[in-house]
Amino acid sequence: MNINHLKILFSEEQIQRRIKELGDEMNKFYNGEEVYAICVLKGAVMFTVDLVKHLNMPLKMEFIRLSSYNGGTSTSGKVNAVDISLPDLNGKNVLIIEDIVDTGLTAKFLLDFLNCNFHTKSTKFCSLLDKKVSRLTDIEPDYYGFEVDDKFLIGYGLDYDGYYRNLRYIGYMEKSELE
């Protein structure tokens, strides 16, 4: 893949502006109540770090690691829980933070896991990006930053074969240019 072929979809400024808006919305909703923010590694790392800086309630950060891509550019259809160790979330406000909801299989896996294991006070799902057109489940994020088309997105946590997570912006490649 040639990085020069990457077309910018969301600039650093657009991303940061939208994250602040999401943070403001969440501050209103939680109204000072404690929150457990669960970052879904690796893709959501940048978004999580920037989002929690805008949250003003008592907050604990947890990190879990799921994978479904096996290094390719489309989901394998099977979600692997690489590390899903979590503290006792009974009676807690849980905010799951994801990079992108695509088919929704990862989100569904995670929400089912939480429902089976805990009676939370509230469970909210936040994703920076929402690829609604690719959905194979009935999952809708409670919060999302931007709706996107069915393109392969790279940057700001989203990788191509492990690379480019460190970009400050989100770009895309035409699928024909990916190989």
Shortest approach of ligand 5GP to residue 23 CB, angstroms?
21
CA distances from 163 to 2, 43, 72, 179 (A): 12, 11, 12, 15
Instruction: Pick between residue 106 and residue 123 the one whose CB is nearest to ligand 5GP.
Output: 106
Which residues contribute to the site for ligand 5GP (CB under 6 A)? 43, 68-69, 75, 98-107, 152-154, 158-159
Q: Are 172 and 152 in contact (CB under 8 A)?
A: yes
Burial class (CB in 10 A: 0-12, 13-18, 19+), 145: buried
CB of 36 to ligand 5GP, least distance (A): 19
Bond before 42 cis per omega within 30 degrees: yes
Contacts of residue 123, defined as CB under 8 A and 6 or more positions apart, other chains included, come to 94, 96, 111, 114, 115
Closest approach of ligand 5GP to the CB of residue 14, in Å: 17
* 24 is annotated as an active-site residue: no
CB nearer ligand 5GP, residue 9 or residue 94: 9
CB-wise, 26 or 105, nearer to ligand 5GP?
105
Residues 50, 102, 138, 150: which is the catalytic one?
102
Q: Which residues are catalytic?
A: 102
